[in-house]
Amino acid sequence: MGLPISKSITGLLPRRKRQREYSIGRHTITLPAEHRLDVFQKHWLRYDLALGEIARLVNQKYPETTAIDIGANIGDSAAAICKYADIPVLCIEGNQNFLPYLKKNILRLGAHVVLEQGFVGGNKLVVNEKTISTRNGTASITSSIGASGEADGQLLKTMKSVLETQPRFSNPRLIKIDTDGCDFAIICHAEDILVASKPVVFFEYYLTGNANEDTEASDAIDRLFKAGYNKHLVYDNFGNFIISADTRDRFVELNSYLRSNKHNGVAVYYLDICSFHENDDDLHSEMRSIELNAVPKLKKAV
């Protein structure tokens, strides 16, 4: 999930030369040679762990839980979502580098995990698959997107169009989004789903570096607040819990931090945000408590 941690940091970590088996909770998936999830989780003990705990809490409260995984990669997020229970998951992925592994791993996870092949984004946009940047087990399509009629490629799907063909997932309780740059647009185009189903939304908060990055981010956050999402847990790209945010101004400050960080060797490329509807304030409180107690306090030296 997500972008490389940092070029300066990942250069110090070992690379794997072969595909290998890797366990996520009760499931085992196959990682391609270039994928570094196992390396990252060995060095950063909280990396990509929150999603599994969130899914567990959501499923406890809503036994009919279904989940949507946008930017499913090789199925590692689906494995995390299903870590404690066989939650039905719709995996959406269009990258040809990931699809062979995703299909294989879905079969290993079980029949409750379903594949929707394609990319999700804004309406009437296309992605040129030939120019997609794929590296270290992650990919970005932002530089490969153009308006319909202006670029050759695959038409981006909207969440509405996906759910028309996948009605089983039309009332999701959990949505995970990790598309390395399209997350804000996806949230803005999923407003109807947010209002109707009120799912917990776990997404990557990545400033694209273009002139409109603040507007893109603020539009998505505004949509969430307007839809009743008043509490958000914020994680760094190492999986460490940072703060609980309950105002729009807090995200303005986070934007400032991300920009400032880019001038200092870049350790934190992005944040992960878990957003809770006001109906799920209890889930926010439970997850916040889990995070506050996840790492043992250091004992004071005598």
Q: How far apart are the C-alpha atoms of 125 and 221, rounded to whole Å?
A: 22
Asked if residue 223 is part of any domain, the answer here is yes
What is the number of structural domains in the chain?
A: 1
Q: Is residue 129 part of a domain?
A: yes
Q: Enter the tokens of residue 142.
A: 């932002």
pTM of this structure: 0.87
299 within some domain: no
* 122 located within any domain: yes
Give the H/E segment covering residue 145: strand 145-147
At residue 28, the 3 state secondary structure works out as strand
Whether residue 145 has pLDDT greater than 70: no
Tens digit of each residue's pLDDT (9 = 90 or more) over 168-221: 999 999 999 998 778 999 999 999 999 999 999 999 999 988 888 899 999 999
Domain annotation covers residue 298: no
Domain that holds residue 170: 7-290
296 belongs to a structural domain: no
The answer to whether residue 295 is domain-embedded is no
Question: Closest Cα to residue 58, out of 200, 227, 240?
Answer: 200
Size (the chain), residues: 302
Give the pairing type, strands 174-177 and 229-236: unpaired
Spatial distance between the Cα atoms of 125 and 66, rounded to a whole number of angstroms: 27
Report how far residue 108's alpha carbon sits from residue 1's, in angstroms, rounded to the nearest whole number.
19
The band of 82, judged by pLDDT with boundaries at 50, 70 and 90, is very high
pLDDT-based confidence at residue 23 (cuts at 50, 70, 90): very high
Report if residue 178 sits inside a domain: yes
- Per-residue pLDDT reduced to its tens digit, 119-140: 987 665 665 555 455 554 454 4
Which of the 8 DSSP states describes residue 222? H
Whether 148 shows a pLDDT value over 90: the answer reads no
**Domain containing 251 — which CATH number?**
3.40.50.150
Rounded to whole angstroms, the maximal C-alpha distance in the chain is 69
